[in-house]
Amino acid sequence: DKIVKNARLALERMKDRDVRAAAESIARERVEDAMRKAGKMPGG
């Protein structure tokens, strides 16, 4: 029973990390896109 609970906790933690990583990458892309449109970033 404890093993199942631990596995579920680990799964939730992994999911949280994935969601956070995806949100951060999306935010970073938006920021870079905005900077590129403003002409502050090279190569765009």
Domain residue ranges of the chain, discontinuous segments joined by +: 1-44
* pLDDT of the residue at 29: 96
* pLDDT of the residue at 1: 81
Distance (Å, whole) CA 44 – CA 39 = 8
In 1-44, alpha helices (H) = 2-38
* pLDDT of the residue at 10: 93
- Please give the distance of CA 41 from its chain centroid, rounded to a whole number: 22
pLDDT digits (tens, 9 = 90+) for 12-44: 999 999 999 999 999 999 999 998 899 875 654
* pLDDT of the residue at 41: 58
Return the closest-CA partner of residue 2 out of 25, 10, 32. Answer: 10
Tokens of 42: 């090279």
- pTM of model > 0.85: no
